[in-house]
Structure 1
Amino acid sequence: MERVAAVNLVTEKISHIAPAKEVMAQINKQRFFLSLFFFLSGFNFASWASRIPTIKAALGLNEAELGSVLLTMPISSMIGLPLSGWLVTRFDTRVPLTIAFLINAGSLALIGTATTTIHLVTALFLFSLSTRIFNISMNTQAITLQKLFDRKINGSFHGLWSTGGIVGVGVTTLVISLGVSIVPHLVIVAGFTIVITFFASRYLLRNDRSVSRDKQALTKPDAYILYLGLLVFFAAICEGGMFDWSGIYFQKVIKEEVFTAGYLIFMSFMAFSRFVSDKIIEKIGMAPTYLMSSLCIFCGITLSIVWPSFWPAMVGFSLVGFGTAAVIPMTYTLAGASEKYSPGVAISLIASFGIVGMLLGPPLIGYLAHAFNLKISFIAFAFAGIMLIPVSRLFFRLSS
């Protein structure tokens, strides 16, 4: 019945007696254009994140000051929590998704032109707020579309996010090698985003506004949501921290001039893992996948700390990318099965735990690096990775 109900949401233009091939063609088209937005999201985020060392040097920030600036993003996202949850219950998700991508493009251009810390903080606030809104919208669409298929497809969406990140890092590496400054780089990315958004948003899923189970949205999350939130929290510490600090780690600890190498290998293995994660989950199950993810993160970080040279660090960052990849899409899929909340609200609630992880992760690394050194500070990622084991065991014990 859930599959039938989801089909009825696909488009107002398809009649209930439309041939099955026509319906599936429309569904596949919507999947394609939603995938395009996942790709674009990863591309934009990587375009900003891989330029962090450039921004740090241009504004003369030390590690602690950079950590304080990076606090802007999770704080902005936390402020956007009630807004994003309200939007996905009041409008078709394509509406906030479209508006948020346009704001995201404008803020990315502002980041590129930032000449003062206040200017940068303002741009990051808008960038993070818009990212928060379109992430909830995209993932709500992804969960709805997944109900129309006989196999899991959510991991592939997140794989395309990582692929976009790889392309973003690759483009950044190229423009840096060509001596292109940050201003034209990020302004061009912003213009590209605006064009794609106006073209592709018309083909997204329609009539997916949630109309039930949302009166409880502001109540205390139940244990089901709490455990899922904690899994996202620890994954966000690792994932967000690696986004923000992997380039600086390779620059300061590994002493590599091409500091994007660590970020690129991390994103590459994250993308690869997300494309195969759906098949891995179908083969071994979700509980063993959480265990495997946890061990990969822990071993990868440990290797990078104990042997801080190019190839051990590359292998270590590869393991971390492989380990973090499946956790968030897998957890969002479980959130869609909540009996208390609609998918949009469940994802919004769980994402709030991720925001806290993002809040603690990058700034924590900055403060620890300032107090001790950057290599020692990465122990925080190893701890967060290993915590996925006890939390996932508690969740599956609860839901069994």
Structure 2
Amino acid sequence: MSINTSTKAGPALKAAAVATVVVFGVNGLVFASWAARIPAVTETLHVTSGQMGTLLLCAAIGSLLALPTAGLVVSRIGTANTIRASGLLAALASVGIALSLSGESIAGTAVSLFFFGIGIGLWDVSQNIEGADVEHRLRRTIMPQFHAAFSGGAFIGALIGAGLSNIGVGLPVHLLAIAGLVALVTMLTPRYFLPHTAAARPAEGEAKAPRGPSAWRESRTVLVGVVVLGATLTEGAGNDWISKASVDGLGTSESTGALMFALFVLAMTAMRFFGGRVIDAYGRVAVLRASMGAAAAGLCLFVLAGNVWLAALGAALWGVGAALAFPMGMSAAADDPQRAAVRVSVVSTLGYISFLAGPPLLGYLGDLTGIRPAQLAILAPIVLALVLAGAAKPLPAK
């Protein structure tokens, strides 16, 4: 994927933009390597949708514990070192998942997913902070393109997952290969990030600089987080359950379910790649509301369709609608560069409550109704995001 950084951008800024694209892309590849093969996990461990939801909740808890402190961690050690640490943790956790699946250990898988969630949570916040810094210096909307890299990596990961599933390669071997790639990329790529300067400590006898209010007490930041909370549930549910819902609700094969997930991710990728121009033309609020309308329509079509082809059309429209909400939320949180790290951490935390914890709850509901019709519950948070979308309006220039 190429990214337009403008001829006015210096070499260091261009290199940082490309490095950020790579880090986002590998993050998506890691995620899809797990998500696209969830049906294989349920079969290997002999668990129900509700029990699978519990395993997904382990990863959610890990991320939710990491996210509130991620802004502080980045402020202390910088985005590059945070990516290195979180990438290594995610790689080691992937090895743990692979070994646990080989031994058919539910407990081992749960523990490994917990640490996987911590690594992914820290990784996500730090890459978004780096992306917001690059966007601010370029002075144009580019965050959706970084998230397009994530979706593109997820699309490639989903295709790999479908192919490996089709030829009978087990998920443990798949995850071990991915772990090696993650460790390599997250150790080397951040060297091209923008330089980080830790906050200087005041000299002895010198008064400390006044601190602003906690970002958790800023009404706009919290409202943006609530919008992201409602909007990103549609993305998280699609990521985690489209493949399983296709297998259970439409009677498709596991490889076809993975391809349905790949279609969802491809639609997100395309929308994110061109979304920056749409946002610059029509504004965040209007695009956010239109996105949620498309997500609602696509979701209903996917759930209610009577055949695979209509469901595939619904999955694509669902992906288009889910594409821009999260990157717009990150951009809104980072409008003021001086407070970007802590505000992105707050918005990420609130957003991930739904992005990570929502899909496991849908798994429990799926035990009662079937996983495909359970997706209709997502309509409620979509409406919430529509109502509160005005909070994402850009801050006035200082």
Same fold? TM cut 0.5: yes
CA contact (8 A) 1:67 1:363 kept: yes
Equivalent residue, structure 1, for 2:181: 192
Amino acid at match of 1:267: V
Residue 388 of structure 2 is matched in structure 1 by 391
- The answer for the alignment partner of 1:283 in structure 2 is 281
Q: Give the Å deviation of 1:256.
A: 1.0
Superposition deviation, residue 393 in structure 1: 3.5
Q: TM-score, normalised by structure 2?
A: 0.90
Q: Measure the CA separation in 2 of the matches of 1:367 and 1:205.
A: 43
The separation in 2 between residues aligned to 1:213 and 1:132, in whole angstroms, is: 30
Aligned match for 1:304, one of 302, 305, 308:
302
In the alignment, which residue of structure 2 is the partner of 1:94? 80
2:205 is aligned to none
CA contact (8 A) 2:159 2:259 kept: no
Aligned length: 380
Instruction: Answer whether contact 2:69 2:345 (CA < 8 A) is retained.
Output: no
Task: Tell me the equivalent position of 2:172.
Answer: 183
C-alpha contact 1:247 1:262 (8 A) present in aligned 2: yes
Aligned equivalents of 2:37, 2:377: Cα separation in 1: 23
| 1:332–1:112 CA distance, 2 compared to 1 (3 A) | same
Worse-matched range after superposition: 27-36 or 372-381:
372-381
**Alpha-carbon distance in 2 for matches of 1:264, 1:216:** 43
Work out whether residues 89 and 214 of structure 1, in 8 Å CA contact, stay in contact via their aligned partners in 2.
no
Task: Please say if 1:355 is aligned against 2:341.
Answer: no
Deviation at 1:217, TM superposition (A): 6.7
Give me the TM-score of the superposition, normalised by structure 1.
Answer: 0.89
**Aligned partners of 1:49 and 1:214: how far apart in 2?**
44
| Cross-structure match for 2:24 | 38
Q: Structure 1, residues 87-129: CA drift from partner, whole Å, max 9, x if none? A: 1121221111111111111111221222211101111111110
Counterpart-to-counterpart distance in 1, 2:376 and 2:210: 39
Alignment partner, residue 128 of structure 2: 139
Distance in structure 2 (CA, Å) of the matches to 1:139 and 1:397: 17
- Residue 315 (structure 2) aligned to one of 314, 317, 320: 317
Q: Residue 224 of structure 1 corresponds to which residue in structure 2?
A: 220
Question: For residues 1-400 of structure 1, what are the structure 2 equivalents within 5 Å?
Answer: 24-114=10-100, 115-209=104-198, 215-216=211-212, 218=214, 220-257=216-253, 258-338=256-336, 342-393=339-390, 396=393
Q: d(CA) in 2 for partners of 1:30 and 1:395?
A: 26
CA drift at 1:174:
1.2
Describe the shift of the 1:259–1:22 C-alpha distance in structure 2 as closer, same or farther (beyond 3 A). closer
Change (3 A) 1:34 1:399: closer
**Deviation for aligned residue 1:394:** 5.6
Task: Tell me the distance in 2 between the aligned counterparts of 1:213 and 1:126.
Answer: 36
Query: CA 1:31–1:240 in structure 2 vs 1: closer, same or farther (change >3 Å)?
Result: same
User: Which whole-Å CA distance do the structure 2 matches of 1:90 and 1:368 have between them?
Assistant: 41
Cα deviations by residue, 1:24-83 (Å, 9 ceiling, x for unpaired) = 112101111111100000000000111211111111111111111111122111211343
Supply the RMSD in Å over aligned alpha carbons: 2.4
> What is the alpha-carbon distance in structure 2 between the residues aligned to residue 368 and residue 276 of structure 1?
35
Q: Which runs of 5+ in 2 are unaligned?
A: 1-5, 201-207
Once the 2 structures are TM-superposed, how far is the Cα of residue 219 of structure 1 from its aligned partner?
Answer: 6.0
Structure 1 range deviating more: 201-210 or 54-63: 201-210
AA paired with 2:50?
Answer: A
**How big is the shift at 1:213?**
9.1
